[in-house]
Structure formats: C-alpha cells, structure tokens
Amino acid sequence: MDGITTLRASPFEPKSDPLSGHADTLLHQILTQLNASIAYTITMSSKKSRPPPIASRHGPIHISSPIPRSPDTALLSPSAKEYENQRSGSGSASPRQVGFSDSTPTKSSGGRRGRGGRGGIAGLGFEMGRSRGAPSGGYDDYDLSPTHAYLEDFDSYPSTPDPSHTPIPQSPSMDSPGFSATERDPLGEFGKHQFPSSGYLAPTLHPHGARGRSSPIREGNEKGSRGGYGGQRNKRTCIPTNPTKRRWLFFGVPIGLVVIAAVVVGVIVGTQHKSSSNSSGSSSTSGASKNGTKTGTGNGKGGQTTESFNPFITTGSGKDGSIVTTDLGLNFTYTNAFGGSWAQDPYNPYHVSGRAQSWSPSLLEDWVWGQHIVRGVNLGGWLVTEPFIVPALYEQYQDSTPKAVDEYTLSQAMGADLATKMEEHYKTFITEEDFALIASAGLNYVRIALGYWAVETQEGEPYLPKVAWTYFLKAVTWGRKYGIRILIDFHALPGSQNGWNHSGKAGTVNWMYGVMGIANAERSLETIRSITEFISQDGIRQGVPMLGLVNEVMAKTVGKDVMAAFYYQAYKTVRDITGYGSGKGPILLVHEGFLGVAAWSGFLSGADRLALDQHPYLAFAAQSTATHATQASTVCSWGGGTNDSSTSFGLTFGGEWSNAVNDCGYWLNGVGSTPSYNALGADYCKQSEEYFNWSEDTRQGIMSYTMANMDALQNWFFWTWKIGNSTVMGYQPSPLWHYKLGWESGWIPRDPRAAGGHCGAIGVGGNQFAGKYPASATGSFSSPTPVIAADQLASHSVWPPTSLGPNFTDPAQIALFPTYTQTGTRVVLPTASHPVNATNVGSGWANADDTTGAWVKVAGCDYPDGYDANAASLVPTALCTGSSARRRGLSADLGVRVTPTATPAPRR
C-alpha cells in the first residue's frame, strides 16, 4: 500500500435515512465482494502464465549440528561457501585473554575496547573481507558488552535504531538456499541438534524469500496491490483478444452488475419498508439487527457501545495467490512460498487462525519451546515513534517550538493537529499488508513497542492518550489472521528508564531513580497490570504469549539490584493475576541492562516462565572499519553465551539486533547527532547509507553478518521491520536497520532458516544447547506452584529499595518520597469492535477476583515533575499521607513502606 495517500479511516457509516442507508450499505458490500470475486477469478485464471517454480533441494535438511561437524556446504549462502573454502584450520575461537579485572573489557593490540585484536583491520567496512581463517583474538570471560563499554564513554544518551525501502534488483547468487515450501522447520525437526554450532568461550559477553528466485521484487503500482511479493512475474492481460468477448467484457458485465444491484436494492428497500411499518417505527433496544450494525465491547466493565462494524472484515481464508481484502477495504494478492495461509472469522474470532509458514504452528496449536524457533522483527517507530525510524514525521517540526526530538516534544509541536497527525502515522506506517509480508519473509513473530500513554496519561503530559492501543488491537487481529505471534514490549515508562528518545522523553532517568522514582515505578506496575489482564484472556493469550517488562533499563545508572527489585514486583503483579504454569498468562522478559546475560545467572531461580532479553548491537561499540564479513565472526562468538544462558537460565532472546556495525544513520543517535564513525574517514557514513550504490560483494558481506546474528542468537527479533523515508534525503537513510529493504534487496536471506549452522561454517563453534530448558522456564514444574530460591527472594523482595540513585542512600529519606495509593479506578483496556453475535470475545479483564484499586496520586499531596526530579532539594521534609497513611502502604509504627501481604486471588 506504499504510495497510497488516501485511506479509509473508519468503517463504512450508513446514512441517516433508515431505508436508503441500509440499502446503500448492502449495495456497497455487494459491489465490494463482486469486485473481490472478479479480481480473484482473474488472478486464478492467469496463474497459468506464471513462470514455473525453481526446483527445491531434495533430501533431508541438516541446518545445524553439534560440534564437531562437517558443514553441509550445499545449504550455505555463497558467502558462507566462500568462507568454508578459504578458511584454514579448525577456526575455533581463541582462548580467553587474561590479566584484566572482572569489570574491565579486554583491549586489542590496536587499543580498541573489547575488540581482542580485531580493531586494527583497515579499509572501509563494506567490502567483503577475504581473510583466511577466523580472526585472532576474542573476548575475556568477564567482558562487558560492547554497547555497555561504549556507553561508559558516552556523555549523552543516544537513540535506539530503526528503518523503510526501495527495492534493488537481487542477484541470483544472493538468494538463500532452496527449501521445500511445505517442509517442517529443520531446526525443529531435528530436535537434538536444532541449535547452532556457534559457541564462544566467554559466557559473560553480551554486546549491547521467496526461495530460489533470482528476479527482483517489485512493488505494485496500483493502489491496494503490491503486485505480488514473491518475485517479478511475466506481464499478462485479462482483456480478451476476441472482439465479441471484448464487447461482453466492456458492456455486458457492467450492465449485468448494475441490473443485479438494482434488483437487490429494490428487494431490500421493500423489505425494510415493510419491516418498518410492521414495527410501527420502533427500533431494536440492543442496537443490533440483521442489517449489519454491530456492537463493540467498550471497556468490559463499563458496558458496551453500539457502532457499525467494519463491513470489510468478513469470514474467509486463503493460501498463496488468493485475494485478501484488508480492514481498509483494499485488495492485495497474498503471496507465501512457505506454505502459509490466512484466515479470519469475525463471528468466532479466536477459533480460527492463519499459519505463517508450514513449519510454524498456527495460533490454534501449541508453541513448543526447544522445537519451534522465534524468527521475528520489531515494529519499531510505530506505536512509539523514533526520529531515525520515521524521519519525515519529525522533519516537519524542526523549526517549531519546541523542536521535535522525541515523542514528548513531537506531541507538543503538533499542538492542535496531534490527534490527526499521530493517528495518520499509526494508520499508514504499519498496515495489515505488512503482517502478510512478514509471514511471506519466513518470520513468525513481531515485537511491538508500547508506551504507557497507550494505556493512560496524567494531566500535563502531552502524548496522545489511548489511541495507540486501538492500533495494537489491530495488530492482534492481523497477527491471528496471518499466524503471527506478538511479543508486547513495555518500551516507554513514566519518568524514562534510560533517558533515550525511544523512552518517550530524552534527557534524564527518573524511573526507579530520583525523588519520583518509586511513584513512577508504581505507575508502571499499574500499566503492566492492565496489559496483563487484557492479554491473559483466552483467545488473546495465544496470540500475545510474551510480555517485556521494561525495555533497555540503564543498569549502570539505575543499578542492577534496583532493577531486580522492580522485576520481582512486576513478576508478582503478573502471576497474582494469572496463576502459574504453561498457558496461564504471558512469558515475562527481563532486559539484562547491557550487563551481559551471564550477569543474571540464577536470578529468581525457579520463577515461572521468566525469560532473558539481550540487545547485542555492535553499532554502538568502539567504531571499527572491519568489514561485515569479518565482523560476522565476532557476532558468532555470542552464540556460546546464548547457549549457556538457555541451559541454565532458560528462554534467552535476542530482542533487538541489526545489520549495523557502526553508528552511521540519519539521526540514529538522536536528532541533529553526528555519527562518530565519520571521524574515521571522510564520507564513510555516506557509503554505509547509500545502499543503492552497494556492490554485490558488499551485499554478500552483509548477508554473512545477518546470518551470523540469526544463528548465534537463535530466537531473535531484528530491529526493525521498516525505516520511513526522509523528506530531506529523499530515501530511507538507515538501510542496515531495515529488514524489509534488505529482504527485498539481497542482503537479508529470503528464507531465514538458511542461517542455521552459518557460524560453524565460518569456523566459529563452541558450547552447545541440548534443546532442553529448565522446567520452570516453560511453566512445567512438579509442584502446583513454582518455588523461587530463598536467597533470591531475600535479595530482591524488599520494596521499595532502601537506596536509589543518584545519591539517596538513607532509607528514612526515601520513606519521604512521593508515592501513590491503590484507591483509583482500574483501567480496563477495550477490546476490538466485533459483531454483536460474536462469541468468546472477552471483557478486557481476565481475573474477576482482581478488584484492588489502581495506583493513583494521593489527594492533597504535591508531586514534582515526573521527568525532572533528581535534585535532593525536591525531597519532602515531612511525610504527606493525604487522607490515610495506610493507603500508601505505610507502617504507622516505623514510618517506612512495607510490602503488602494481601494479594488478589490468582486465576487457576
């Protein structure tokens, strides 16, 4: 739908006349369906003219295997084959370096932090390296992540990455290996050997297509159609050459349609008139009737609101080549070379599901950890905007007051246009067709960033409140339709958890930090509560099975122990709602704070379905001119740490990663920022960003780097699906963060399964994961409830923490900090609109026994700015209790807060 500037913003609204209105509505639906049927017939009848499919590789698929292994070079990309042919020796990782403290990253001979001898390679990092053998050097067992090391020397807070597209003809040599379109995922099929041979020797390290086709992918030029995703097709026409048939097509068919429509409308009008006369003008008290008017659930607890249900959302299903009508009434051809399908039924919405690929389970089937592999993308920049992902949205407010540098200031700059402009962004940046494309790219998950303003805002906060939630509901519907599961990530928290622009407001950290740190955390827990209640409903939980509790907390600022205390409170909040065990509420992800996954070994050992999230970015480490092909070995060295964490901790995800090996990218580090990579040479970033000038060798090198990430991280989400155009530059300025562009243009594999075993093929191997997670990690434990290790409870259950940054170390002083009271009205999130007779749609609140009030401000107490409260002068001199000290969880005897003992009854 790129290029479409006018889209239907809301369902078809009947006219006020009860007779003509319903007739017009039905006529509109009839013509829409006729149009879809004709388009489908034309498409199916013309499929004979498609070029024959390229033969798939026969025989068993061995993507990855334990070390030692003999690489199956027939399955390697050309770049991987070249590595395999050129490398000498075993290519194993170098021994750990010694002589450094636990907290000090190792240094290369070139003086670069954490590079282990790799920093001295000269030359621009975009021409494929030709070195023989794996690079020497490695990471120390106790290295910090490259991102963390970078941040230690960084004086301000950079932005996190994201991308959008212009296809480049794809070379035949850049296609991924051919797989059967309907075969099972080989990494899942060979259960004991499904994980990559990508070990490394430093377990503590954490650095922050259509198959077989060689023709270029081209966007459709007509509105509502992409012309297919699977490759360029032969030109064809549906216009008959026979003159008689031409006359029937151009005159007979339109006349026939008009006659049919007129007859139907006449019958409808007559029926409606008779019905109206018989009822003496009375109307239905329920707001629903056979004429298509539907009732959508409001907030579940607050009653229902009657509205016209979207007539474009109809019952249907299809596979490769079928015609899909989107919720905006636009048609496109569904193309999926991997045996995928789409399906929807608005009257029974949670009893149907599409399938992303033949090897990915539908939402009606169980996801089996240790068998199924998460291959996903982030939908960055959509519901939480970022300047470098959607530059055009920000560029128009660079001369405004205030200047738009984050969503906070963007919202202020938009002023009276906020609702219109922001919703237009939500509506057009990610659409239903993107979900279909994601499935056709071989992906089965999306990670969606959400800000707290999608749930609630307070007076004085400029964000557009609650509208983002409406579009998240669309994503839930689209995900089910195309078989895509969702990880919902709490990306932007009150006060900001990292001071970066993607936290909502750039500047300083005020979450679990400073005078408003506890109040902002309590407010965050309330948002997590509302989201958990919604996604734990039957039908929703299958499509949204994972929740990220906090995105990218700055551990070096907030403190690991303080982070851990919040994680435990959030864990307790969720499990008190859901109960325990597989399928009862979401898997919970905790971010490792750029300390490395090994730093969290043993954290809350025994907890129910607690997973670890790492974001390994080389882009923000010490800048190097090493090629992508060379850096692929560095990336592969992360695999052993992931394997170790999977074995001991449990589910370990690469929640974000990209193809960037430097910090080039328009506004990547924030509006007006200058990439530090440019200091290494003139126009270096220009060569990184102008993808339309890249050579085939460059794309091959990036392909190797891409597959190294996929292989090493195993269960992953690329950041991000697309980057928008820049009105200043005239193209997508950060191509290495743009999955869709790379997939279309030849530096991301058409079939991501091709990455399995890539690290072993380029000579980097090591520790293996046997495929069996700890029982508690997947919610299967012997006792009715999980038992968390006693020492972990003792260390992390004290709430609030007795010391907070920047320098509040006296518990008595922290006891005076402003906090909230649980006496407010709960936020019950609305469900998607649906037909009045739809079944099992839920109320928005999974646990009816969870009736505790929401965290809200204490009446009569003053609260400093939630984004600017780090000064000691803002600490109250006396405790403000409002109308009741007990409401704040205070002990009247001790004058300090204690953890409440009463909890909502869990849903069993």
Which residue numbers are catalytic? 552, 656
User: Is the Cβ–Cβ distance between 786 and 775 less than 8 Å?
Assistant: no
* Interacting residues of 405 by C-beta distance below 8 A, sequence separation 6+: 387, 394, 501, 506, 670, 671, 672
What does the alpha-carbon distance between residue 160 and residue 316 come to, in Å, rounded to a whole number?
A: 39
Q: Tell me, letter by letter, the H, E, C secondary structure of 696-746.
A: HHHHHHHHHHHHHHHHHHCCEEECCCCCCCCCCCCCCCCHHHCHHHHHHHC
- Minimal CA–CA distance to 147: which of 535, 593, 620, 571? 620
Mind giving me the DSSP string for 481-534?
HHT-EEEEEEEE-TT-SSSSGGGSS-S---SSSSTTHHHHHHHHHHHHHHHHHH
User: Is the Cβ–Cβ distance between 549 and 585 less than 8 Å?
Assistant: no
CA-based Rg of the chain, rounded to a whole angstrom? 28
Q: What is the separation of C-alpha 393 from the centre of its chain, rounded to a whole number of angstroms?
A: 20
3-class SS at 473? helix
Beta bridge partners of residue 546, listed in sequence order: 487, 587
What does the alpha-carbon distance between residue 289 and residue 353 come to, in Å, rounded to a whole number?
A: 27
What does the alpha-carbon distance between residue 229 and residue 659 come to, in Å, rounded to a whole number?
A: 23
Neighbours of 905 (CB within 10 A): 13
User: Is the Cβ–Cβ distance between 326 and 36 less than 8 Å?
Assistant: no
Q: 327 vs 12, 313, 481, 721, 834, CA distance in Å?
A: 11, 6, 11, 21, 12
Beta bridge partners of residue 451, listed in sequence order: 492
What does the alpha-carbon distance between residue 677 and residue 687 come to, in Å, rounded to a whole number?
A: 11
3-class SS at 634? helix
What does the alpha-carbon distance between residue 35 and residue 24 come to, in Å, rounded to a whole number?
A: 16
What does the alpha-carbon distance between residue 806 and residue 799 come to, in Å, rounded to a whole number?
A: 18
- Minimal CA–CA distance to 405: which of 666, 670, 668, 674? 670
- What 692-697 contacts at long range (C-beta under 8 Å, 24+ apart), as own/partner pairs, is 692/166, 692/168, 692/731, 694/126, 694/168, 694/747, 695/127, 696/171, 696/173, 696/174, 697/127, 697/128
**68 upstream amide cis, omega within 30 of 0:** yes
- Minimal CA–CA distance to 331: which of 477, 220, 418, 214? 220
**Two tokens, residue 703:** 């392909």
Q: What is the separation of C-alpha 441 from the centre of its chain, rounded to a whole number of angstroms?
A: 15
Q: What is the separation of C-alpha 179 from the centre of its chain, rounded to a whole number of angstroms?
A: 26
- Minimal CA–CA distance to 655: which of 86, 80, 249, 160? 160
- Minimal CA–CA distance to 752: which of 404, 480, 360? 360
What does the alpha-carbon distance between residue 54 and residue 179 come to, in Å, rounded to a whole number?
A: 10
